[in-house]
Every structure is written in structure tokens, then in C-alpha cells.
């Protein structure tokens, strides 16, 4: 690959991918609205607000593939999510279409299915049950990916990322954790798969107690190396949640405990 674009490159996961994907293209084009630091050799810094359609079109021109991790990663007002996550993702795919980019790796989220009960075993084609406006924007993003594949032939991997942190820090993460090296491997598999189609894949490590099965995404060749089980003893020394706490009952955890926000404030 000549040029790979990473959006959200100044974020927690974007900073990891900036390092982990350095060998995937001759040049990484790194974009964010936040400060990106200094460019290393073979990096181009391209600050951009994803909500600005023209700026995103300029950003995408000349790229061979896109790792789209930019956006708001938690619950916020619908107006904020609309700009960064919904318009932002539409702008990325529309720019990909205009400039002939053939593949996108999209950071979706487990919050697309957060209203499933904990313990339910989910395949990638399970019903989506978003737990928040944030989760709803990620469902929309997955549908944008599907639409641009079916109508324009742009391949996508929608990564339903669980909890991407260096180490699991609560009991829920025994099920949802993905380690930094497994996330890096997963994104690399999505970039390198000979045929990607439009694939939904769980972004999760090889957790013994995972709620999610990647059997339907086996063609990616993703073989996670880490297992949250190694942290079980330490996590079980932490105070358990009350059994009737929504955060203990639903896969989305604390997102399901939040008071639901309105989609918009009626005038
Ligand atoms: P982060 O907040 O650290 O990084 C996201 C980046 O997107 C930030 O640097 C932010 O400045 C940028 N951004 C936000 N709005 C923008 C806009 N309008 N224009 C340009 N850039 C904008 O979040 P994190 O944790 O690195 O997440 C990255 C992606 O992965 C997000 O899309 C998030 O929803 C998704 N994800 C993350 C999970 C995790 O455990 N960290 C789990 C599931 C999904
Ligand atoms: C997400 O989608 C969020 O971006 C991240 O901050 C975590 O809350 C993660 O899911 C999770 O569910 O642990």
C-alpha cells in the first residue's frame, strides 16, 4: 500500500495503531482534530474535522485504505454525536467512493448490542440492541459500511470493539477485553485479508468467558493471543456490583445504567 489513512490518530487507540500499522503502507496519513504531535519519517499529518465534508474529501484523496477510528467514544448529546460519528462516518465513506478507496476498517462498538443480557452468547449476525445514542451511531455506521459495499463495492470490516485497554480493570472486562496487541493484529488482518467483503467482527481477545463468537469472521485469520482470565484473581478481589444494577445485567455495562438521552430536544 502506498498511503494508509488513520482517522482518530491522536486518540487512545489511534496512537497505538499509528505505531502498529507503520509497516502497512509506505506512508501513514494521520488525522484528528486534536494535536497529532510531530510527524515521524513516512508520516503525513493532516488535521481535519470529520464533520466538514470538503475537508474529509481532501483528506481521503490519494489514500489506498482507511482505518476510521475518529469520533466520540462515549455517550454525549445527539448533536455532538451527529456531527462527529454520523456525519463524520458518512463523509469518510462518501470521500472513499469519490476517490476510489476500496477498503475501510471501521471502529464500531460493543454498544451496538449492549442491551443483550450478560451471559448471552452472541454471533456477529445477532440482533443489534444499542444501549445509548452512542451505540445507535455505531449501528448507523455499520449500515453505512454495508450500504457502501452493496451499492459501491467498498469493502469494510466493522470492528465491534469490546474494552480496548492495556489491562482489564473490572469484572465485565473478563468478557469484553481486547489487548493492544490483539487489536493491532485484528486491524492488520482486516487490511491484509484477500477478500474482506463487508464483515462484522468482534474486537475481543481470546477471553475464556467471552460473550461473543467470531466463528463467522474466521476468514480474517484473526487469532487473538491474550485472555482476560489471567486477571481474574485480581478482578475478583474488587467489590462486585449489586445483581440488580443494570451495569451487572446487560452487556453494555455502565452505559446501560445511564439515564437515556433524547435524540433531540423538541422545540
Ligand atoms: P479517543 O477519544 O481517545 O479517540 C477518538 C479520536 O477521535 C480523538 O482523538 C478525537 O479528537 C477524534 N475525534 C472526535 N471527533 C472528531 C471530529 N469531529 N473530527 C476529527 N476527529 C475527531 O477514543 P478511543 O478510545 O481511541 O476510540 C477510538 C474509536 O474506537 C472510537 O470510534 C470509539 O468509538 C471506538 N471504540 C473504542 C473502544 C475502547 O475501548 N477504547 C471500544 C469500542 C469502540
Ligand atoms: C466503548 O465503545 C467505549 O468507546 C470505551 O470507552 C469503553 O466504554 C468500551 O466501549 C467498553 O464497553 O468497555
Band (pLDDT 50/70/90 cuts) for residue 266 is low
Buried-state track 32-55, b at ≥16 Cβ within 10 A, e below 16: bbeebeeeeeebebbebbbbbeeb
Q: Average model confidence (pLDDT) for the chain?
A: 97
**Tally of CB atoms within 10 A around 238:** 10
In DSSP terms, which residues pair with 202 in a beta bridge? 160
Ligand 2 centroid, distance to 74 Cα (angstroms): 7
**CA nearest ligand 1 atom 3, residue:** 11
Residues in the chain: 267
Active site (annotated) includes residue 106: no
In the predicted structure, residue 163 carries a pLDDT above the cut 80: yes
Q: Which atom of ligand 2 is nearest the CA belonging to 134?
A: 2
Band (pLDDT 50/70/90 cuts) for residue 263 is confident
The CB of 71 under 6 Å from ligand 2? The reply is no
Band (pLDDT 50/70/90 cuts) for residue 267 is low
* Domain architecture of the chain: domains with CATH: 3-257 (3.40.50.720)
Please give the average per-residue pLDDT across 37-48, as a whole number.
98
| pTM (whole model) above 0.85 | yes
Ligand 1 centroid, distance to 70 Cα (angstroms): 5
Strands lying side by side in the sheet with 43-45: 43-45, 27-31, 3-7, 65-68, 103-109, 155-161, 198-203
Amino acid at each position: 500500500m502506498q498511503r494508509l489513512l488513520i482517522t482518530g490518530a491522536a486518540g487512545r487507540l489511534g496512537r497505538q495503531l499509528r505505531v502498529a500499522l507503520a509497516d502497512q503502507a509506505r506512508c501513514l496519513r494521520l488525522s484528528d482534530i486534536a494535536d497529532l504531535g510531530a510527524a515521524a519519517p513516512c508520516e503525513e499529518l493532516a488535521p481535519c474535522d470529520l464533520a466538514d465534508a470538503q475537508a474529509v474529501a481532501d483528506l481521503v484523496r490519494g489514500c489506498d485504505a482507511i482505518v476510521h477510528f475518529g469520533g466520540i467514544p462515549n455517550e454525549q448529546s445527539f448533536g455532538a454525536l451527529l456531527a462527529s460519528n454520523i456525519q463524520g462516518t458518512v463523509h469518510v465513506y462518501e470521500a472513499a467512493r469519490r476517490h476510489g478507496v476500496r477498503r475501510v476498517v471501521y471502529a464500531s462498538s460493543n454498544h451496538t448490542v449492549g442491551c443483550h443480557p450478560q451471559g448471552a452468547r452472541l454471533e456477529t449476525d445477532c440482533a443489534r440492541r444499542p444501549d445509548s445514542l452512542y451505540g445507535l451511531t455505531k449501528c448507523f455506521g455499520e449500515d453505512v459500511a454495508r450500504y457502501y459495499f452493496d451499492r459501491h463495492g467498498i469493502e469494510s470490516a466493522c470492528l465491534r470493539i469490546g474494552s480496548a485497554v492495556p489491562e482489564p480493570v473490572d469484572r465485565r472486562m473478563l468478557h469484553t477485553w481486547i489487548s493492544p496487541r490483539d487489536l493491532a493484529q485484528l486491524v492488520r488482518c482486516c487490511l491484509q485479508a484477500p477478500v474482506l467483503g463487508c464483515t462484522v467482527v468482534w474486537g475481543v481477545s481470546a477471553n475464556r468467558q467471552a460473550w461473543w463468537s467470531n466463528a463467522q469472521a474466521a476468514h480474517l485469520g484473526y487469532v487473538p493471543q491474550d485472555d482476560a482470565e489471567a486477571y481474574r484473581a485480581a478482578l475478583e478481589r474488587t467489590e462486585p456490583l449489586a445483581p440488580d444494577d443494570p451495569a451487572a445485567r446487560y452487556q453494555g455495562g455502565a452505559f446501560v445504567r445511564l439515564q437515556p438521552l433524547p435524540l433531540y430536544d423538541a422545540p
